């Protein structure tokens, strides 16, 4: 499955446009999961790039707490 690079639904685009912050998350098991919060998407992308793969999921989170998966980086 190719990496998601752009919002694919209206909901995704709305969350991205209204994003209060971004979450970068790696790992499928809670014990080994890495989760970091960033004010800007470019900061989340830089964090993800430090791992050298495309296994970091980046989410946009609105001030109301709604979130959408925006991309893998």
Specify the length of the chain in residues.
73
The total of other beta-carbon atoms located within 10 Å of residue 31's CB is 5
Q: What is the pLDDT of residue 58?
A: 97
Q: Which pLDDT score, from 0 to 100, does residue 1 have?
A: 37
Instruction: Supply 30's token pair.
Output: 């809670």
Strand order in the sheet with 19-26: 34-38, 19-26, 57-62, 67-72
What pLDDT shows up at residue 28?
87
Task: Look at residues 24, 36, 2 and name the one whose alpha carbon lies nearest to residue 70.
Answer: 24
Tell me how far apart the alpha carbons of residues 30 and 33 are, in angstroms, rounded to a whole number.
5
Low-confidence ranges of the chain (pLDDT < 70): 1-7
């Amino acid at each position: 499955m190719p990496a998601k690079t752009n919002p694919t639904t209206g909901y995704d685009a709305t969350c991205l446009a209204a994003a209060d912050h971004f979450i970068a998350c790696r790992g499928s098991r809670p014990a080994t999961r890495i989760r970091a919060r960033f004010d800007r998407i470019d900061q989340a992308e830089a964090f993800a790039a430090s791992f050298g793969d495309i296994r970091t999921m980046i989410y946009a989170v609105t001030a109301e707490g709604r979130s959408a998966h925006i991309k893998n980086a």
